[in-house]
């Protein structure tokens, strides 16, 4: 009777310990994800700026046009593919967006990025071309 | 503001599953012209016109392109097999135009190709043909095709312009009505007179031009056929006869007459010469322009105390004021899509050419100008021509509708004024 009780108590403690470790691991993982996300975010403006500086818009481009592109990179930062996920309806506008990314060719800042961040956020990501500085 | 945006962004990253794709938003770009290489076309050496030069000049003037000098080119390919993208990429070219001219018994045929250097692909291959006197037309056709493929807007390099030249020397040919290519080349005189010529206006089918001539000692409106030179006097009223504008169907002219006391707007049916009065106000009403549907006119009036732009319905006569900003807005022109009014706007004593969005009323200054004169819009709505002064001489200048590009047309003998850009040929 006494022995049985002791065993149960031990099993309960073991389960608690496991749950605690699992929670700890989860928290650790989520902390890591958070830090990856924050790191990923810190690269965004540099990457956006590079594309902005290469984006030469056609005369037909207007505020309100939007083009969503899917970009695939390799860890060196080289662009391997650019696909239009959602076009603006103006083919010259979409073409100018694709040209902007392709003319960057190589995102140098990706090279120094932690591998985990690259795998999670930059192997495949999207560019939304959404001009605010053109006429209506 | 910025802080909270970052905070929101982090939140949204956490809220989404780990592998959700990151989206980077691009909200601004450069207005740098796109570099393009136009390779001298094979077989075009020694022709009376330099085709490559004309195409490069057209593209440069559009403001959207920066042609690469031919002296920088590493190779001069004439067909796809000879195109090495890497060479062109090194030069910084985004696009490449190559071609080959064949002379077939005095008739020239140009086969030309446009390449996307960055994506390494051919965009199109086209052909255009013509005689020796049409070499400039061939060049402009190349410019039109390249411009449209890349910008999505129809090119207007093949269109024509009219303007009035004043040689400033009394004599039979002092005032000249001139017809020229949109780049100012191949100008020819349609009509000349010792008395002033004003307000040339194209018919929409491009076969005729209406203008005001003082040859009968008072202003009268004439229509002249471009092909034959045949002239018909349309009005001979007491006082002012001015500012003719063709209706969209070319059946009527809107015009200004002061025969009943002060300037009012009328329409004149060309075939029957039937006259109809549109406005009736003690103020000055002038400078009529048709809306694309032919149902209304926009015009300038000082009925509110200062010159402003109004719209009148031809069916009901109802008048609506369109401009409110500032105390001087005149010389209105509607853009071909009817969405924008271009006008002369005076601010602090200086004339500006401005554009106003018809729907929102938002006004935007395109350029300063020295003359209070009508601008004229290209049929593709991308550029406008206006008369201004340069080194004490009347010259034509152009500005893009987004104000990004400005250039002057080559200077002529005399003072150049009153430009009118043709419609597209049908």
**How many residues are given for chain B?**
426
Contact A43, A36 (CB under 8 A): no
- Among B22, B118, B401, the residue with its CB nearest the CB of A99 is B118
Strand-strand pairing, B350-357 and B340-347? antiparallel
User: Which of B348, B342, B349, B391 minimizes the C-alpha distance to B367?
Assistant: B342
- Confidence at residue B6, expressed as pLDDT on a 0 to 100 scale: 46
* B398 Cα to chain A: minimum distance (Å): 15
* Higher pLDDT among residues A24 and A134, named by residue: A24
- Give B352-375 pLDDT, tens digit per residue: 899 998 888 888 888 877 776 778
Tokens representing B121? 């692909």
Give the dihedral of Cα atoms B210, B213, B215, B218; nearest 10 deg: 120
Give the dihedral of Cα atoms A46, A48, A53, A59; nearest 10 deg: -170
- Among B153, B357, B362, the residue with its CB nearest the CB of A59 is B153
Residue A135 in any domain: the answer is no
* B86 Cα to chain A: minimum distance (Å): 13
Lowest mean pLDDT among A107-111, B160-164, B404-408: B404-408
Burial class (CB in 10 A: 0-12, 13-18, 19+), B339: middle
- What are the extents of the domains in chain B? 31-151, 160-421
The tally of domains found in chain A comes to 1
Contact A64, A57 (CB under 8 A): no
* A1 Cα to chain B: minimum distance (Å): 49
Contact B330, B283 (CB under 8 A): no
- Give B95-129 pLDDT, tens digit per residue: 999 999 999 888 999 999 999 999 899 999 999 99
Nearest-CA residue of chain A relative to B17?
A33
The proportion of chain B whose per-residue pLDDT surpasses 70, expressed as a percent, equals 94
Q: Is residue A29 within 8 angstroms of chain B, CB to CB?
A: no
Q: What's the rounded mean pLDDT across residues B61-88?
A: 91
Nearest-CA residue of chain B relative to A126?
B23
C-beta atoms of A100 and B364 within 8 A:
no
Give the mutation candidate from B2, B18, B26 for the A interface (greatest A CB count, under 10 A): B26
Q: What is the ipTM of this complex?
A: 0.76
Give the domain range for residue A75: 2-129
C-beta atoms of A126 and B24 within 8 A:
yes
- Give B384-407 pLDDT, tens digit per residue: 898 888 888 888 888 887 766 788
Strand-strand pairing, B22-26 and B65-67? unpaired
β partners of residue B393 = B390
Q: Is residue B30 within 8 angstroms of chain A, CB to CB?
A: yes
Name the pLDDT band for B7 (thresholds 50, 70, 90): very low
3-state helix, strand, coil in chain B (%, to 5): 15, 45, 45
Beta-carbon contacts of B234 under 8 Å, excluding residues fewer than 6 positions away, are B210, B220, B221, B222, B223, B244, B253, B268, B270, B273
Q: Is residue A122 within 8 angstroms of chain B, CB to CB?
A: yes
Tokens representing B254? 């809107």
Tally of CA atoms within 13 A in the half-sphere of B31 that contains its CB: 15
Beta-carbon contacts of B308 under 8 Å, excluding residues fewer than 6 positions away, are B300, B301, B302, B321, B322, B323, B324, B329
Report how far residue B86's alpha carbon sits from residue B129's, in angstroms, rounded to the nearest whole number. 31
C-beta atoms of A58 and B22 within 8 A:
no
- Confidence at residue A38, expressed as pLDDT on a 0 to 100 scale: 83
Lowest mean pLDDT among A48-62, B48-62, B241-255, B301-315: A48-62
pLDDT exceeds 90 at position B22: no
Q: What's the rounded mean pLDDT across residues B9-25?
A: 57
Give the mutation candidate from B22, B58, B363, B402 for the A interface (greatest A CB count, under 10 A): B22
pLDDT exceeds 80 at position B144: yes
Report how far residue B333's alpha carbon sits from residue B379's, in angstroms, rounded to the nearest whole number. 12
Residue A136 in any domain: the answer is no
pLDDT exceeds 70 at position B15: no
User: Which of B46, B40, B251 minimizes the C-alpha distance to B132?
Assistant: B46
C-beta atoms of B26 and A99 within 8 A:
no
Residue A28 in any domain: the answer is yes
- Confidence at residue B271, expressed as pLDDT on a 0 to 100 scale: 95
pLDDT exceeds 80 at position B338: yes
- Report which DSSP code applies to B137: H
Report how far residue B197's alpha carbon sits from residue B164's, in angstroms, rounded to the nearest whole number. 7
* CATH number for the domain harbouring residue A40: 3.30.1150.10
Report how far residue A92's alpha carbon sits from residue B382's, in angstroms, rounded to the nearest whole number. 15
Size of interface A-B (CB pairs under 8 A): 122
pLDDT exceeds 80 at position A134: no
pLDDT exceeds 90 at position B84: yes
Tokens representing B168? 């400033």
Tokens representing B192? 């000349």
Q: In B, which residues are within 8 Å of A129 by CB distance?
A: 26
The enclosing H or E element of A36 equals: helix A2-52
C-beta atoms of A92 and B21 within 8 A:
no
Give CATH superfamily name and number for B31-151: TolB, N-terminal domain (3.40.50.10070)
Residue A35 in any domain: the answer is yes
Chain-centroid distance of CA A130 in Å reads 18
- Among A103, A126, A129, the residue with its CB nearest the CB of B22 is A126
Residue A134 in any domain: the answer is no
Provide the CATH number for the domain formed by B160-421 in this structure. 2.120.10.30
Strand-strand pairing, B34-38 and B95-104? parallel
């Amino acid at each position: 009777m006494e022995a049985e009780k002791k065993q149960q108590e031990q099993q309960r403690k073991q389960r608690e310990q496991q749950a605690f470790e699992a929670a700890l691991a989860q928290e650790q993982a989520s902390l890591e994800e958070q830090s990856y996300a924050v790191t990923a975010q810190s690269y965004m403006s540099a990457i956006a700026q590079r594309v902005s500086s290469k984006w030469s818009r056609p005369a037909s481009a207007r505020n309100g046009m939007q083009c969503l592109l899917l970009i695939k990179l390799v860890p060196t930062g080289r662009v391997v593919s650019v696909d239009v996920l959602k076009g603006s309806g103006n083919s010259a506008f979409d073409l100018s967006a694709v040209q902007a990314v392709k003319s960057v060719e190589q995102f140098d800042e990706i090279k120094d990025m932690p591998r985990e961040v690259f795998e999670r956020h930059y192997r495949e990501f999207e560019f939304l071309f959404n001009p605010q500085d053109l006429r209506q | 503001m910025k802080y909270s945006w970052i905070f929101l962004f982090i939140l949204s990253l956490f809220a989404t599953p780990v592998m959700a794709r990151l989206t980077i938003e691009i909200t601004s770009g450069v207005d740098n012209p796109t570099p393009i290489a136009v390779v001298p076309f094979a077989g075009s050496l020694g022709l009376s016109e330099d085709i490559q030069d004309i195409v490069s000049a057209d593209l440069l003037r559009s403001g959207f392109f920066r042609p690469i000098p031919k002296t920088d080119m590493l190779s001069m390919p004439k067909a796809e097999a000879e195109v090495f993208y890497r060479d062109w990429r090194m030069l910084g070219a985004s696009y490449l135009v190559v071609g080959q001219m064949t002379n077939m018994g005095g008739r020239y045929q140009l086969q030309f190709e446009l390449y996307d250097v960055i994506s390494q692909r051919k965009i199109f291959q086209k052909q255009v043909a013509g005689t020796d006197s049409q070499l400039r037309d061939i060049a402009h056709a190349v410019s039109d095709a390249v411009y449209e493929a890349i910008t999505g807007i129809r090119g207007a390099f093949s269109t024509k312009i009219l303007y009035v030249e004043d040689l400033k020397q009394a004599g039979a040919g002092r005032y000249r009505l001139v017809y020229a290519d949109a780049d100012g080349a191949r100008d020819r005189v349609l009509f000349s007179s010792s008395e002033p010529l004003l307000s040339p206006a194209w018919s929409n089918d491009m076969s005729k031009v209406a203008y005001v001539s003082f040859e009968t000692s008072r202003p009268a409106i004439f229509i002249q056929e471009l092909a034959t030179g045949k002239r018909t006097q349309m009005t001979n009223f007491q006082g002012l006869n001015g500012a003719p504008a063709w209706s969209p169907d070319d059946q009527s002219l809107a015009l200004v007459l002061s025969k009943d006391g002060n300037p009012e707007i009328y329409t004149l049916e060309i075939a029957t010469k039937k006259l109809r009065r549109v406005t009736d106000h003690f103020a000055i009403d002038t400078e009529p322009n048709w809306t694309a549907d032919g149902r209304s006119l926009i015009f300038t009036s000082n009925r509110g105390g200062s010159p402003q732009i109004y719209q009148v319905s031809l069916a009901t006569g109802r008048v609506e004021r369109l401009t409110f900003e500032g105390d001087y807005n005149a010389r209105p022109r509607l853009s071909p899509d009817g969405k924008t009014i271009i006008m002369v706007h005076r601010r602090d004593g200086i004339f500006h050419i401005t554009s106003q969005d018809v729907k929102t009323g938002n006004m935007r200054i395109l350029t300063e100008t020295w003359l209070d004169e009508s601008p004229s819009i290209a049929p593709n709505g991308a550029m406008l021509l206006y008369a201004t002064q340069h080194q004490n001489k009347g010259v034509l200048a152009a500005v893009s509708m987004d104000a990004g590009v400005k250039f002057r047309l080559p200077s002529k003998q005399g003072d150049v004024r009153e430009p009118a850009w043709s419609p597209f040929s049908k």
